[in-house]
Amino acid sequence: MTQDRKKIVFHHYESTSFSEPGNANKLFFPFYCLNSLVRNSFTFAYSTNQMTTFKIPDFTKSPTIDQVGIEERVARFNTRSIKKESKVKGLKLILNMIDLTTLEGKDTEGKVKQMCYKAMHLHDILPDLPTVAAVCVYPPMVRAAKQALLNSKVKVASVATAFPSGQSTRQVKLLDTRYAVEEGADEIDMVISRGEYLKGNYNFVFDEIAAVKQACGPARLKVIFETGELSTLDNIRRISDLAMYAGADFIKTSTGKISPAATMPVTLVMLEAIRDFYFTTGKMIGMKPAGGISTAKSGLQYLVMLRETLGNDWLSNEWFRFGASSLANDVLMQLVKEKTGVYQSKDYFSAD
């Protein structure tokens, strides 16, 4: 760590260790661990393979959004049509990007195990199907999911931080996060404090995301905005910028508990924020639209929008997910149609 007046360089490496390489006694800190006072005073550097220096911006000056322009561009995406081999590849890619989810008060270990089986065996009569990317459950169900998915590549994601409302103390939210990670969660889906954000208390939200990121340890962090409560595209762009600088690995539209959930205009605004963050910092951030995506056609339109906004590097489940369990069966129906020429009834596909 080097210091020169108002310039401080922090090295952030892809590991859970907070010791400087080559010097186990000298501590260093990722930029997202700093409090807002320090954050506003210094220039930071992020390092993986190479050093890129950047400054935490003033989030009140995030770009404003041309809503008409966004809607016109989305309308063009909705006219795209993908056929034959490309369609089949796209449908399989959608399956591999889905986070199968059960987040209900009536969830049981048995229901979670059944969902995990489906995650690995989407429709066995179709050859060469991928698994889904992950299953998403409440923290008490993480251990059961982890055991059911043993020796598979399917990740276990857990919601946390008083999901879905986020109405709790920071202490409770951090305990919730640590508990999910200790149970074996590979990914944490947190919700922001929307009330604080809408009051303009951006430092509070930034510090909360940073604290949860630190509590995640090795687990990746998805930050849920609940865009249906944020009212404007300008608000969505600003929280996207804030969350990424605070340490989010993914940004996510919604909990799926309110309407509207994910929409293409909202997702496009978030993708453009990711693109601008990448151009500034060199760091890739993932995207997860969640809720409201139920057809294979809409899933393909999202993939077209993703590729044309961020490029091919984001076309994998490491960087893009669908939070839409009902989407899986519609995609499977389309794949059966492509193979046999006829649609099967929904009754041939498992609901869970």
Question: What would the mean pLDDT of 149-163 be, rounded to a whole number?
Answer: 96
Which has more pLDDT, 30 or 278? 278
Range of the domain at 242: 67-348
The number of CA neighbours under 13 Å toward the Cβ of 344 is 20
Q: Is the pLDDT of residue 335 over 70?
A: yes
DSSP reduced 3-state for 318: coil
71/49 same-domain check: no
224/265 same-domain check: yes
Interval 247-296: pLDDT, tens: 999 999 999 999 999 999 999 999 999 999 999 999 999 999 999 999 99
Report, as residue numbers or ranges, the catalytic residues: 189, 252, 288
52/128 same-domain check: no
152/30 same-domain check: no
201/302 same-domain check: yes
42/148 same-domain check: no
Structural domain includes residue 61 = no
Domain CATH code at residue 328 = 3.20.20.70
The number of CA neighbours under 13 Å toward the Cβ of 330 is 14
243/186 same-domain check: yes
By the 10 Å C-beta count (0-12 exposed, 13-18 middle, 19+ buried), 223 is classed as buried
- Quick one: three-class SS letters along 80-98? CCCCHHHHHHHHHHHHHCE
Amino acid at 15: S
- CA triple 160-194-324, angle to 5 deg: 55
199: which DSSP letter?
A: T
152/223 same-domain check: yes
Q: Which of 36-45, 110-119, 179-188 has the lowest mean pLDDT?
A: 36-45
In the chain, the number of structural domains is: 2
* pTM of this structure: 0.85
CB 145 within 8 A of CB 135: yes
